[in-house]
Each structure stands twice: as structure tokens, then as C-alpha cells.
Structure 1
């Protein structure tokens, strides 16, 4: 397992994260476990030989199946996993877990050559099944720290891991992380294919973590993961809630359904302790529905006095902020800081801190509370670089790449820029295709209200017409410009590479450039075809081309392939049709 193992398929990634030694479980034991937990399994063929078969792994992807695996065949959008049972069988599958339709497909293709365990809720049953096979229980370890919410999950998990690593490394114990950007076990990492892997892979990772002596792991938990039962069978030492704002309504349909999906993580059967940021009504509702040990945290400028912990005395510290955590019940006061800009990163750091302080009360991390407080006050665990999250690429002008891709995240990012900038704010935004289209006009309106120069370009169009996506953003931007008499400069420029070049072209040293929406991503998806582009690299390249200074840890760039191109007329070869569109409207404050 290494960082060099990039570009892996989901199947290859699954194999990389398999533990070396697995005790496993018999089919008979698995059926008994599923029966005892309410899944009412039906197994065929019935018999001693079938029951004694030992399962030593689990996989959903037929290409990832290994010898002795339980093949979990679920119904997908285009096909049923059972359609690929021969591939799984040839790879060594020892049994199949599936639904009624899948069981029929298996029998049609292979008869009774392999035990089939039939349940009605396959996705949900996959987690407990894999947990039994890999030996995962509520106390087996590692201690899991799960973070959910609309915004801030990635940064909070990076902060969590940094703090945990600061605490555990002196005890010769490792930490892990599972998230959008990477999956890590100790010092070894590979890129992640989704925010939260499937349940069978997560349980495999837990066993691998134990082999690597990983004592604690930080994990992003998306609403998709909860809704699709990817976290089924896992038990969290502490779960944290950041916030809830409009996003993913293409999946959930309404904010109420979105909230319900998130709330499922905070049930006592899944999570021992919960730490909930209560800066708005959604947070207080989450704290009310959470069961088990619930701790509330207020991070707003005027913190709610009813919260258990509050953030106070926020002050500038280099590019970031120093702050104090106060406990309403004990009077405890802890001074800490974060090197990342923005008040929202104070909230992310505070959540990570309180989650670990809460774990000290309920989890055997093997560290004292005094060690945690010393780490928070002296070790600076929250001054780290998080890929694509308020990542500083240039210094004069300040040039930042951020993952902000919904209205609330945009507001937070632009507020952070306004608090430190003395010049114009130049913003490049887009929106993903085949996603919640209702948020696009709001994002366009927010952009022209809060930035001085807005360039609307492309994000990941997926299968949608890029021009149609930009039109949604432009609709909201133009309405706000007209209704509110704004003098913001508004441009539409495609492809994105030209938009980045334009942002740097119009910038002066005192300005702030923000590339929003893509963060750490290194490809754009145009109708299923991936086109390489990394905002961080291209921004660094454009800054150096103009002679602007870049941050010490900004990406290194090769000789600029665009040096001899005229950005106003020449095509940039990073979109399928090499098309460049540029229109401008509104005033210019420069």
C-alpha cells in the first residue's frame, strides 16, 4: 500500500486494502448472525457441507472477489450484481448474499453449486456480514471518529487525524483516515474513489487498520454513505456534525429527508458519543434527535450560552485564527489555533478538538486528558495544509483553491476572503452537472453580491450540456446585478483553463483570487470522458507566468505549454471541443 499506487480502480483499491490474516466465519455462523439481528435469511442449498464453508473475505465488485469471499450481489441502476456471478465464482467466491431476484439469477446461471443467502435488505445486511467475517465489533478497534454535515467534513477529518497523530505517535501507535481525498493507514495512502467506500471494503479496512496497529481513524461520512448503508455494521466512538445547508437534494428530495439521512448516524446503536455544532436550528434539532451521550458546541460569533462548549476570543493568527474553547459545566478553558483562513475553519478545528476531548471520556485511546490539552495548546495540530480546502497557492495576490460548491460554502469562503483582502475579490465558479440544479441561480447571485469580478466557467458537466449549467448560474447572477444595482464584473468563460488565466490576468498584488468548486480534483468529467486539469497546478502556473509569487508549498509546474498562446484567441486543449467562450457584463472596480 503506497501513495504511488494512484489511479487504481475500485477493484484494485479493494485488493490493496485487504488484511493479510482473516479468521473468517462459516456460512452457518453468518446465517445465524443474520437471523439473530432480524434479517430473516433463507439459505440454499441447505446442508452440513454448505454450512461448513468458511468465508474469509467479502466483495461487492465481482472483479474484486478473491478466493473464499462472500460475493454481495445487489441490484444496481443498470444491472444486478447477480448477473456477474460467474465472474465471482471463477475468482473463488464461496457464497453469495443477495435478494430474491438475485437468488433466482444465481440459480439460473450456476444452479446449486454455491450457497446463496437470501435477505430482503442486502445493502444493510452486507455490513454486519463483513463485520463477522473480518472480526469487527463495537470494541475491536480502531476507535472511529466519524464526521458528517454539508460542509467541513474533509477539513475536520484532516484536523482530527493531525490531533490524533500528535497524541498517538509518541506511544508508537498509528492513525488512519477515510475520506474524499485519500484513504490512509499510518504513513501509507492511496487516492479514494468515493467519500465513503462500500460497507464490505470499510470492514476490510478496519481489519487492515488493526494489523497496522492503527489505534484511531478519522472518517468522512456522507449522506450518500448513510442512505446506501455503506456504514452498516460500523460503530463510532465519536460522531461529529458540522452543519446542514442545501446540497444533494437530487438524492434526498427535501431538506427534511437530507436531515433524516444525516441523523441516522447519531443513533446510539451506531455511535457512542456525538458532538454537534449548534449554530443554527438544524444543529439543535440534530442534538435533540441524537441518542446516547450528546455534547453541543457553539462556534458562532455570538455563541449560544446553552451549548456545552463554546468558541470565544477569536483573533487573527498569521493566515488563520487563535481561539478559546470554554466548557460551560466545568469552566475549563483551552487556547488553540488554526493556520487555515476563515471563521468556518475555527469551527472545524473546534469540532475536532471537542470530539477528541469527548473520546477521552469514553474511549481507550491510551492518552490522558492532560496530553490532549497540551497538544491543543502547544503542538499546533490544526496548522496543516488540507488539499483543495482553502489551499493557498499565491501570496500577492492571495490565490486560493477551495472545494466550495454549494451556496453556504461559497458564502463562508467569500467571507473569509473579504476579511483579509484589501483589494478586489476575483472568483471563478462552476457547478456540477446532473446534480442539484436548484442551487445554481443562488450560487450565481451570491457570487456577484460578494465578489468584485466573477468568472462563470465549467466544473464537472458529467452528461449535461456545459452551457446549460453555466446558464443556471448566470440566471441568478444577472438577476442580482439588475435588481440590486451591483457593479460587479461578470464574465462567462469556457474552458476552465482560460477562466483561470483570465482571473490572474486581471489581478493586482493586493487582490484575492478564489477558484471555487473543484478543490483537490484533477480531472473534469465531460460525458464520461476525463480531461486532466488541476486548479492548483494551473493557478500556480498562471501566477508564475505573470511574475507573481507563489506559496512555499504551491505545486511545482513544468514549462508552461500555453506560453505562446494568446488567451483571448487560442484554444486551450482541456475540453472535448477545444471551445472558448468569453462574454463580459457589468462594471469593473479595478
Structure 2
């Protein structure tokens, strides 16, 4: 999912409502006086005895007993919605000076108001205090966090799948869904707001879960969505160009990721050292680090764990993971691509860093094949002839890896790619993605991703410049075309495909809505691809099936 939520209040028009259903059923009350002291304020008189049993940034999800946090947004201030929050049961408001001035003008604010300089700077730790989200008595689930540009979603699914194979009850907080031991809840953000994160962790503890995995995006760190969270193990996949619209430079992007790798935020780390950013992170991290190399050509002993002897098995790969002390584990993933070898190896080493016994892990790998779990929209196979794959690849590195992964050994097989670029995001990656597609695909169909409020034709033009320049300057033998809207582009790809070809629809993965000029249009690449394949008489696979 492309992160595009502004760092303002969830009540502001430019934000989205936080999803509900995250809270534990019982929360011990915290007196407002104690909350006041915690943020450096004195709450006098009867107000100090007000009992707080929840916290919310969103007036639409306030429950009785909540502390409502009114944050400034880019268009509206959360204080504008305080009356709604109070009607829903908020017993107090926390805000800044601007919010306090707005509340002073409102005639119907009948609850105590706490004023601090930067409410967002305290809301995460306040949420941890109110929900007691990570107990010190061992009753809280072990928490695994995964960060990096690419591979976060698949790695968290792999961590959970391996833990389940080890007999653990698990939870998940991520791009696709949130699971807390019950039915999945569709996710709006890679990482929810800090109020929801802490409520979820408390819910997982209440339900007796053993462990949980969480995707941690750079947006989550920048917008303080994981403040107050302490991970048992945090893992790093890689760092490539993305989100520079937020961070400005790769250096700032790296520094944001690196904030997770401190003793304040995690107890241990596993860092993939396949790129220079990973090697730097491993050297600079302020907590115990286990290093992982997944490159076949890596020198022996260059990392604590190394992937060796990768070899094809079906659509996936089997490989050996060897430690610097001589421990070896036999591993298989049914998902295609060398990057899924990296994801599986990282998940495995994270579980080991969390205290799992290698012998028990090997038994679980042999018995359950946990890294062949289907991950919606991540190298998801829709048909076998032609091979038709939907993937979330939405930046240059991910697109290159996906195209390399789907290339058949059959010299007569062509790769047909459908992709675009997201509007109002890092514009510098658009020509790069076009050039990569021209180099690695035989037929390049440039279409729309999520234009948002930007002109879709202008976005396609930026991508096409990169593709056509690469084709001309490098004398590439590929066909380039522009087809829109996206469902028509998918139908065109299928129309051009022969049974031995491969179709890759990249960029949107599991997403089911396309945002165009503020309107969400129903669009699921997997559904459109299945429909187009069926219409041509090709056989499609069952939903989420992985062939191995």
C-alpha cells in the first residue's frame, strides 16, 4: 500500500479515519491526574479523579472514557471536532496552544483540557501508559518489527507462518490486514496510528497471543506511530529509492529507518547487509545486531548468517542458511524470486534471534514448509499458462527484482509488464522505472497506478520518457505502449500473451481501490487479470494459491 496519509489529525479532511475494532475489552482506568503528571502538568480538584480508559486521535472512533487528542492538521484542527468526541464519551481533551484557543471559543466543552507544546510527541507513550500495552510480567506477546523499502509485508507473513509452525498463536499488523487472534481487519496504513498500535498490542495480550509481527514504515517512524513501542526483534530488509517526497534525500530516509535500531525501541536486531545501507546500519546500530547476507557471492564469514547453495525448486527456491559458528538449516520458499529468499532468510534469523531453538526450527521447516505461505498481492500467481503474476513492486528496485524473478528460462517466452507510477509522490523514480521496464521486459505497457490529484497523463509521460530514452540509447529490442485506464491495459497484456509468455502486473498488489481526483474507483489487478485470462480461454488458479 502506498503511504499517503498526512501527519495531521485523523479528523482533518486530508486524513483517514482510524479503523475500529482494535481495543481490548477491559482496560484498567488511569486517573487524569496521573496522566497530567506524566506530561508535566498539574490537574487540580475533581478533574484529577477523572478516569481514563482509552485514547483516540479520531472523534469518530472515540469510546466512553477516552482521552481525545486534538492534533493540528493541514486543513483543520482536531479541536474543531472536540464536541463530537465529548458527545461520544470523551472525558478529557489533550491538545496544543492553538487547539486550546479554539476550545476556549466553544461553548460546549465540559471536560478537562490538558495543553502541551507538542501533543503528537507524547501520544504514543501516553497510549502505552493507558493501555498498558507491553506488560513487564511476560504476558505480552513477543513483538517482531520489520522495516526497509521492499519486503516488509512478505517478511512479516513469513515470520508469522514460521512461528505458527512452531505452535505459536500470532498476530499481525501490516499493509494488507491486521490480525489479533480473530478475524482479519483490512488495514488502512502500513502501520496504524500509535493509539491503535498500543490498543492492538493490549488486545493481543488479552487474547493470549504468543507473538506478533509488525511492518514499520518510514512514515510510521516520522509520524510517531510507533512511539512507546518496544520490539523484541527488529529486522531490516534493504534500502532503495522510495518516499523521497517525504524524506528529501536517501540519507534522511536512512536516518529515519535507523531510529528503530536503538535500545529505546528494540532489544535485538537482524540486519540484512546485502547493500551499503544495511552494512552501515549494522555498524551504527545502538543495540545487539545479528547480520545476514543473502547474496550467493558473499564471502564466507562476512555475516553471522549467510545464504548458500540456492537452487530452483518449482517456482521457488531451496537453500541452506549457514551461521558463522557452523549451524546449518535447510530452507525452502515456494514464492519466486531471489528477494523472497532474502525475505525468508530474514524471517528465519529474526525468529532465531527471538530465542527459537535451531533444531525445533528445522523440524518446523521440514514439516510445514512455512515460507510457501500465500501473501496477497506479493508475487501472487493468477495463472500458469501464461504465467500471470500480480506484485506490489512500485519503486525501481522492486520492479527490477520482480521482472528478473518472472523471466522464464524458455528463450521463446516473452515478459509483458503492466505498470505505472503513483501521483503526488517521488517523481524522480518515474523515468527510472520506465528504463528498468524497457531493459527487462519484452512488452512494456505503461498505464496508471494511483494518480491521486495529479494529472494521470503527465505521470505516464514521465514514465514513458525513461522507457523510450533507454530503448533508443541502449538499442533495446522491446515494444513500448501507453494504454489506459488500467483495466484496459491489463486486457491488452492478456490479448498479446501466448501460453508460454509471462505477464507481470506491478505496482498495486493487493489494493482494491484506485484513487483518481479524490474518488476511489474499484480496481483489483487480480480480479481484472483473472477476468481477462478467462475471457481468452486461459485457465486461472484459485485465489491466493501458490504452485510449488
Is the contact between residue 334 and residue 377 of structure 1 (CA under 8 Å) also seen in structure 2?
A: no
- In structure 1, the residue corresponding to 2:242 is in which secondary structure? coil
Q: Deviations over 1:211-263 (max 9, x none)?
A: 21111111100000000000001110000000000000000111011001111
Quote the Cα distance in structure 1 between the aligned partners of 2:107 and 2:267: 43
Quote the Cα distance in structure 2 between the aligned partners of 1:291 and 1:536: 42
- In structure 1, the residue corresponding to 2:200 is in which secondary structure? helix
Alignment of 1:372-451 (within 5 A): 372-418=361-407, 420=409, 422=411, 423-451=413-441
Alignment of 1:184-223 (within 5 A): 184-223=179-218
**RMSD between aligned residues:** 1.7
- Other-structure match for 1:268: 263
- Other-structure match for 1:141: 140
- In structure 1, the residue corresponding to 2:311 is in which secondary structure? strand
For structure 1, the 5+ residue unaligned runs are 1-8, 35-40, 361-366, 556-590
- Other-structure match for 1:24: 29
- Other-structure match for 1:130: 127
- Other-structure match for 1:561: none
Out of 341, 348, 351, the position equivalent to 1:353 is: 348
- Other-structure match for 2:110: 113
Q: May I ask how many residue pairs the two structures share in their alignment?
A: 527
Classify 1:11/1:407 alpha carbon distance in 2 versus 1 (closer, same or farther; 3 Å): closer
Out of 239, 245, 248, the position equivalent to 1:244 is: 239
For normalisation by structure 2, the TM-score amounts to 0.93
Shift of 1:369: 4.4
Is the contact between residue 62 and residue 71 of structure 1 (CA under 8 Å) also seen in structure 2?
A: yes
- Other-structure match for 2:8: none
- Other-structure match for 2:317: 321
Quote the Cα distance in structure 2 between the aligned partners of 1:103 and 1:335: 60
Please say if 1:308 is aligned against 2:307: no
Quote the Cα distance in structure 1 between the aligned partners of 2:287 and 2:27: 32
Shift of 1:535: 0.7
Shift of 1:24: 2.5
Shift of 1:421: 5.2
Classify 1:554/1:85 alpha carbon distance in 2 versus 1 (closer, same or farther; 3 Å): closer
Alignment of 1:89-104 (within 5 A): 89-104=86-101
Q: Deviations over 1:319-370 (max 9, x none)?
A: 1000111110x2100011100000000000000000000000xxxxxx6443
Quote the Cα distance in structure 1 between the aligned partners of 2:368 and 2:258: 33
Is the contact between residue 18 and residue 58 of structure 2 (CA under 8 Å) also seen in structure 1?
A: no
Quote the Cα distance in structure 2 between the aligned partners of 1:133 and 1:168: 31
Quote the Cα distance in structure 2 between the aligned partners of 1:401 and 1:72: 40
Out of 461, 473, 478, the position equivalent to 1:471 is: 461
Is the contact between residue 146 and residue 219 of structure 1 (CA under 8 Å) also seen in structure 2?
A: yes
- In structure 2, the residue corresponding to 1:42 is in which secondary structure? coil
- Other-structure match for 2:46: 49
- Other-structure match for 1:575: none
- In structure 1, the residue corresponding to 2:123 is in which secondary structure? helix
| Higher alpha-carbon deviation: 17-26 or 373-382 | 373-382
Is the contact between residue 138 and residue 235 of structure 1 (CA under 8 Å) also seen in structure 2?
A: no
Shift of 1:11: 4.9
Quote the Cα distance in structure 1 between the aligned partners of 2:336 and 2:109: 61
Is the contact between residue 463 and residue 527 of structure 1 (CA under 8 Å) also seen in structure 2?
A: yes
Quote the Cα distance in structure 1 between the aligned partners of 2:408 and 2:203: 44
Q: Deviations over 1:359-402 (max 9, x none)?
A: 00xxxxxx644322321343210011110000000101110000
Quote the Cα distance in structure 1 between the aligned partners of 2:408 and 2:241: 24
For normalisation by structure 1, the TM-score amounts to 0.87
- In structure 2, the residue corresponding to 1:427 is in which secondary structure? strand
Shift of 1:13: 2.5
Classify 1:554/1:161 alpha carbon distance in 2 versus 1 (closer, same or farther; 3 Å): closer
Quote the Cα distance in structure 2 between the aligned partners of 1:99 and 1:539: 49
Is the contact between residue 176 and residue 186 of structure 2 (CA under 8 Å) also seen in structure 1?
A: yes
Shift of 1:89: 1.2
- In structure 2, the residue corresponding to 1:126 is in which secondary structure? helix
Is the contact between residue 421 and residue 511 of structure 1 (CA under 8 Å) also seen in structure 2?
A: no
Out of 448, 469, 480, the position equivalent to 1:458 is: 448
Classify 1:383/1:554 alpha carbon distance in 2 versus 1 (closer, same or farther; 3 Å): closer
- Other-structure match for 1:165: 164
For structure 2, the 5+ residue unaligned runs are 1-14
Classify 1:110/1:270 alpha carbon distance in 2 versus 1 (closer, same or farther; 3 Å): farther
- Other-structure match for 2:151: 152
Quote the Cα distance in structure 2 between the aligned partners of 1:48 and 1:331: 65
Shift of 1:73: 1.1
Shift of 1:552: 3.6
Shift of 1:90: 1.2
Shift of 1:105: 2.0
Q: Deviations over 1:164-193 (max 9, x none)?
A: 111134xxxx21000010001224111001
Quote the Cα distance in structure 2 between the aligned partners of 1:371 and 1:300: 26
Shift of 1:542: 1.0
Please say if 1:518 is aligned against 2:508: yes
| Higher alpha-carbon deviation: 233-242 or 543-552 | 543-552
Quote the Cα distance in structure 2 between the aligned partners of 1:12 and 1:225: 14
Shift of 1:112: 7.2
- Other-structure match for 1:587: none
